Amino acid sequence: MVEIRFHGRGGQGAVTSAELLAQAAIAQDRYAQAFPSFGPERRGAPVVAFARIDNKPIRVRTVVSKPDNVIVLDPSILRIVNTSLGLAESGVQVVNSSKNAATLRKEFDLKGKLVTVNANRIAAEEIGRVITNTTMLGALVKATGLVDVDLLVEQIQNRFGRIAGGNIKAFKRAFDECVIDE
């Protein structure tokens, strides 16, 4: 089973990211679940979402405390949350930042394989708003191959309908522009 933890702020699409990833996995005839963890937070407050993907039914229903992958949708989260907490030794962190991996490792003591992408810039240019959920999925899929690219694009199209074009462009740009640091 692959477990994923998404860190973001309310309104950035962490929950939507987890759902899109799970739907793409299900479209590949795999088992998946996605769910948020938040209380009465408001737009801009830190939120966490989770996803699990497996080739057999998933029976566990708890939060993901030992993720294989961590996605950080907002770089300011790194100042208030230890995103490396519980990360598997071979884990991957995908971070929205204009900084390079060496700088982020030094500044925030990040663990695991680090993937960086300037999702804020890409989302602003392609979507017209700094909502980084679909952008970050592009970098995640490039780094991990968790789901088929075309199936995730299909899920983005289904979810966003007439406004999907910018999200798909942002997803593909992040896929191409992310930097993977071993």
161: three-class secondary structure by DSSP: helix
pLDDT digits (tens, 9 = 90+) for 82-119: 999 999 999 999 999 999 999 999 999 999 999 999 99
Q: Which CATH number fits domain 2-181: 3.40.920.10, 3.40.50.150, 1.20.1250.20, 3.40.190.10?
A: 3.40.920.10
86: number of Cβ within 10 Å:
15
Each domain of the chain, given as residue ranges in start order, spans: 2-181
User: Would you say 115 and 72 are in contact if contact means Cβ atoms under 8 Å apart?
Assistant: no
For 32, phi and psi rounded to 5 degrees? -155, 160
Task: Characterise 13 by phi-psi region: left (phi > 0), alpha (psi -120 to 50), beta (else).
Answer: left
pLDDT at residue number 40 = 58
- Rounded to whole angstroms, how far apart are CA atoms 181 and 161? 34
42: pLDDT confidence band, cut at 50, 70 and 90? low
Q: How far apart are CA 167 and CA 83, in angstroms?
A: 25
- Burial label for 182, CB within 10 Å (0-12, 13-18, 19+), is exposed
Straight-line distance from the first to the last Cα atom of the chain, in angstroms, rounded to the nearest whole number:
22
Mean pLDDT value across residues 137-166: 97
How much is the pTM?
0.94
Q: What are the pLDDT digits (tens) for 44-70? A: 788 999 999 999 999 998 999 999 999
pLDDT band, residue 11 (cuts 50/70/90): confident
164-177 vs 133-144: helix axis angle to the nearest 10?
A: 40
Mean pLDDT of the chain: 95
Alpha helices in 145-177 (DSSP H): 149-160, 164-177
